[in-house]
Structure 1
Amino acid sequence: MILLDGLDVSMIVVAIPEIQSEFGMSAGTAQWLAGAYILAFGSFLLLGGRVADLFGRRRVLVLAMAAFAVVSTLGALADDSTLLIVSRFVKGMAAGFAAPAAMSLLTTTFPEGPQRNKAFGIFNVFEASGYSSGLLVGGLLAALDWRSIFILPIPLSLLMLFGALRILPPDPPRTERQRLDLGGAVTLVGGTLTLVFTTVRAAEVGWASWRTIGGYVLSALLLGGFLLIERTVKEPLIRLDLFRNRGLVTANISIGVLYGGAMGFQFLLGLYLQDLMGWKPWQMALVLLPAGLMVVVIGPKLGALMDRFGVTKVLMTGLLAFLPCYVLMLFIGSEPNLWGVLLPASVLWGVGFALSIATLMVAGTNGVPDEEQGLAAGLLNSSLQVGGAFGLAVVTATILPGTELDMLYPGLWLILALAVLTILVQLSHRQK
């Protein structure tokens, strides 16, 4: 599922110009082809993880993948831009239930230690492969027909659905009737939706706009109401004592900050190569190909690396790899330096990703009871998505007016600062 998610998100980014042209969409409307998916995915992850814990991880995964296939079909047949965007939102909802269900199946199937470490390494390979290959595949398919991008996920999701039904064991029977905290669910989803939506829109309407300020106030009120409900309800959606797990809290903060910088890096790289240098999307995908290859090479060995050197050393090595990557980007010039800047930065980015993202997932789920693994997975994925949205919005806001090349440097300094902040968060945790 994580492969399909990365593939779907990256392919649509490449196809937006063709879709915008066919439907006569404005730039603001067209960006919701990607934004609607991210909005729904990030907002439903926590609820999806808890629903999987309560009602069966295999059951939730199968239903979510079936919905993903159906909505992909509707998107491929859509003849209206509004319907297309709605289909993207619903597809993001399906992914928001499927992703934590899949990840919690992994964490509950493989016990803490070597087996889980190895499983997360393989998980990381599929995640990065889907995202990096999606840029290249999307560029090739968009050159033929943008609808091909919506058609490709249909057979892939059906294949995964068939595999889940055949391979995954049935969910264990529940001895007690499970109840969903509806008040907590409504306030959590409402607060998260408002938070992500406000963040995505902030760069467009302005950070000081009443819409942005009002959105954050409303989000704070809804999430505050959620916390109040969870403190008083008999069967809470999220047991607040879970946040006493410092490893889980630190991993959530780290993965949000780290992915915010990573999204900013990709955005700035695309702005530099495609908008300023006039490169095609598939050419940019080739620049990022070494990053994907690093994940493919390192991913299967990640479990052995964590077993031999420990989670902390592997994680810190990965986080440190981002520093020279972002420093190299400060040396971009009016002509792309492929061998001296772009490809080395891509390799370092891939090494950082390969060693840090899955390792943070391991660190965040260690010590969490099996009955709350879906929730922990939802928390980590939600922090990743919300952190990515925040990072992208803040990086966009820091690009100052000026010469075309000079405007990129404030954003590059910001992503470097985010990489340093991630390291400081981890060091602070280790010292406690």
Structure 2
Amino acid sequence: MSGRAWGVLLVLCGAIFLEGIDIAMLNVALPSIRAELGLSTATLSGVVSAYVLGYGGFMLLGGRAADLYGRRRMFLTWLVVFLVFSGLGGFATEGWMLLLARFVTGVAAAFMTPAGLSIITTSFEEGPKRTKALLFYAGTAAGGFALGLVIGGLLTGIDWRWVFFTPVILAAVILAAALWLIKEPVKQARAARGLDFGGAVTVTAAMLLLAYGVIRLEHPGQGWGWTVASFAGGAAALVVFVAIERRSPAPLVRLGILRSGPLLRANISTLLYAGSFFGFQFLVTLYLQELRGWSTLETSLALLATGIDAILAPTLTPRLVAKFGNTRVIFGGIVLAVVAYALFLPLGMDWTYAAMFPSMILLGLGFALAYGPLTIVATDGVAEDEQGLAGGLLYTSFQFGAALGLSAVTAVSTAALGDGSPQAALGGFRAALVVPLVMAVLAAIVIAPRRQRASAKEARLAKEEAIPAS
């Protein structure tokens, strides 16, 4: 690749690293934020949920906007919004300020992230160059989350507000480099086409309602009325959206893209795999801090082993993909995750880190093998003017999967908590650990390599060749 191509890739990797580190650092800082601002448990949970709502609710619209209005324009505009509202979060003195800042930051990420991914998929031609770029990109994303846990622990020890100010500094550097390096293509397909307003409103309403429903699963004690209403409203909005898209001469989402078997399987596997990974990480964090009394920094360092994917994704994974293909490598990575979760099931009250380490390292290796190739499969063969949409679908699956995994393990562990004693809490964690295991097994089943069926024409020709001439 040329020097400029490397520069563009590094800028976009910096942006996905920024998104990963932002989420991870905030998760580590939540207890300190609650202590200083006096936030209730519901408000503290809302700080995380607000980001999920903004991200999941606007991701499809964000991905399509990149295709229609220019990938560079969307990337730069929403990077600025991300920068501003991340900084405003650091000045918050009330809970509602944090909620607003995190919601808008999530919306900014929903527009910025698929735009960045589509710049890569349209800047690097399909084949070895794109594969190398996407695997490098995936490794950086994973590295951002892994390093964010440690950096967040260090910054929180100084002042939790630096968890919000640090992304501002990083975003400013990325913005300056992007203005210089990233160029808008001379010809932006369908850029002059008007936005399908009805489709945009209904799909965003559907995603917001479904995301809210998933978030409410974490709090079964609050009743099921609003949860059921959210899912029902989201499903109804999706039905209306599909009806609009079928009749629209210029649909926001071409429904035919969902007929692609590889794309559909990649997105379903991504949803399940993300749910298993983030659900497991959340449980381990609670186990180490609340049951074992480990500090924030000790917990972050314990989870750091999973960050090995940042090294392996751009180095080992391309070689394996070249030899075995994307699907087999993804399947192998998810199987490693299944083994990692299974090894953690006999969780004990006095487990040493040596007992946990095999699961951590297998998870890191599995993520290195699965995440990047899933990105490749989800965008391979998609027309250039729909790359933003493909990225939006992928990240929507990832975000909804993460939210679903977190909600499911929270609900199961809470239901199994019993009398609240340490032994009962341990039983709750063990019960909840089954959730990531089941989700990973389902992801492996969905993405398992399939024997290609011959087309009807090929089958007919083979049959004719088998009949001896008279």
State the alpha-carbon separation in 1 of the partners of residues 122 and 112 from structure 2.
15
Contact 1:206 1:212 in 2 (8 A): no
Identity of aligned residues (%): 39
Aligned to 1:88: 102
DSSP-derived class of the 1:203 partner: coil
Structure 1: unaligned runs, 5 residues or longer = none
Q: Is 1:133 matched up with 2:121?
A: no
Taking a change above 3 Å as real, the CA distance of residues 175 and 364 of structure 1, as seen in their structure-2 partners, is closer
Taking structure 1 as the reference length, what is the TM-score of the superposition?
0.96
Change (3 A) 1:27 1:431: farther
Tell me what 1:112 maps to: 126
- Give secondary structure in 1 for the equivalent of 2:425: coil
Contact 2:328 2:449 in 1 (8 A): no
Structure 1: distance between partners of 2:89 and 2:133: 33
For 1:296, the equivalent position in structure 2 comes to: 311
What aligned pairs does 1:219-258 form with structure 2 within 5 A after superposition?
Answer: 219-258=234-273
- Of the three residues 395, 416, 441, the one matched with 1:420 is 441
Summarize the Cα distance change of 1:199–1:207 in structure 2 as closer, same or farther, 3 Å threshold.
Answer: farther
Structure 2: which amino acid aligns with 1:132?
A
Q: CA deviation at 1:174?
A: 4.6
Contact 1:121-1:301 at 8 Å conserved across structures: no
* 1:102 matched to 2:123: no
Once the two structures are superposed, what CA deviation does each residue of 1:301-353 show, in whole Å capped at 9, x if it has no partner? 322321222112211111111122001111221112211x2111110000110
Alignment gaps of 5+ in structure 2: 1-14, 419-423, 454-470
Q: How many residues align?
A: 431
Q: What per-residue deviation string (whole Å, max 9, x for no partner) do you get for residues 124-152 of structure 1?
A: 12111110111111111111111111100
Is the Cα–Cα contact under 8 Å of residues 139 and 309 in structure 2 kept in the other structure? Answer: no
Cα deviation digits, residues 384-430 of structure 1 (max 9, x gap): 10011111111212221331211112211221111111111113755
Question: Conserved in 2, the CA contact under 8 Å of 1:40 and 1:96?
Answer: yes
Relative contact order, higher structure (CA 8 A, sep 6+): 1
Contact residue 325 and residue 344 of structure 1 kept, 8 A: yes
Helix, strand or coil for the counterpart of 1:112? coil
- Paired position in structure 2 for 1:68: 82
Structure possessing the higher radius of gyration over alpha carbons: 2
CA distance, structure 2, for counterparts of residue 328 and residue 119 of structure 1: 33
SS at match of 1:299: coil
CA distance in 2 between counterparts of 1:96 and 1:175 reads 21
1:40 and 2:54 equivalent? yes
Matched to 2:231, the amino acid is Y
For residue 401 of structure 1, give the secondary structure of its aligned residue in structure 2. Answer: coil
* Residue of structure 2 in register with 1:272 after alignment: 287
1:409 to 425, 430, 444: 430
2: CA distance, partners of 1:327 / 1:121: 27
What is the CA-CA distance between 1:110 and the residue it aligns to?
Answer: 1.4
Task: Supply the distance in 2 between the matched residues of 1:418 and 1:73 (Cα, whole angstroms).
Answer: 36
Instruction: Give the superposed CA RMSD.
Output: 1.6
Partner of 1:356: 370
Q: Distance in 2 between matches of 1:114 and 1:207?
A: 51
CA contact (8 A) 1:113 1:307 kept: no
Pair 1:379 & 2:393 matched: yes
Amino acid at match of 2:446: V
Separation (CA, whole Å) in 2 of partners of 1:407 and 1:68: 37
Does the C-alpha gap of structure 1 residues 304 and 111 become closer, same or farther in structure 2, counting only changes over 3 Å? farther
Q: 1:85 to 1:242 in 2, by over 3 A?
A: same
Letter in 1 for 2:242: L
| 8 Å contact kept, 1:120–1:303 | no
Q: Residue 335 in 1 paired to residue 356 in 2?
A: no
Partner Cα distance (1:175, 1:102) in 2:
17
Distance 2:428 2:333 in 1: 28
Is 1:123 aligned to residue 144 of structure 2?
Answer: no
Task: Report which stretch shifted further, 254-263 or 37-46.
Answer: 37-46
* Aligned: 1:202 with 2:217: yes
Q: Is the 8 A contact 1:12 1:33 kept in 2?
A: no
Equivalents in 1 of 2:234, 2:376: separation in Å? 29
2:157 to 143, 150, 155: 143
Relative to structure 1, the CA distance from residue 175 to residue 216 in structure 2 (aligned partners, 3 Å threshold; closer, same or farther) is closer
Structure 1 residue 17 corresponds to structure 2 residue 31? yes
Normalising by structure 2, we get a TM-score of: 0.89
Indicate the residue corresponding to 2:6 in structure 1. none
- Distance in 2 (alpha carbons) for counterparts of 1:128 and 1:189: 27
Q: CA deviation at 1:73?
A: 2.1
Q: How does 1:183-202 map to 2 (within 5 A)?
A: 183-202=198-217
User: Are 2:359 and 1:345 equivalent residues in the alignment?
Assistant: yes
Following the alignment from structure 2 to structure 1, what is the Cα–Cα distance between the partners of residues 450 and 75?
Answer: 34
Map 1:380-395 onto structure 2 (within 5 A): 380-395=394-409
Following the alignment from structure 2 to structure 1, what is the Cα–Cα distance between the partners of residues 436 and 254?
Answer: 34
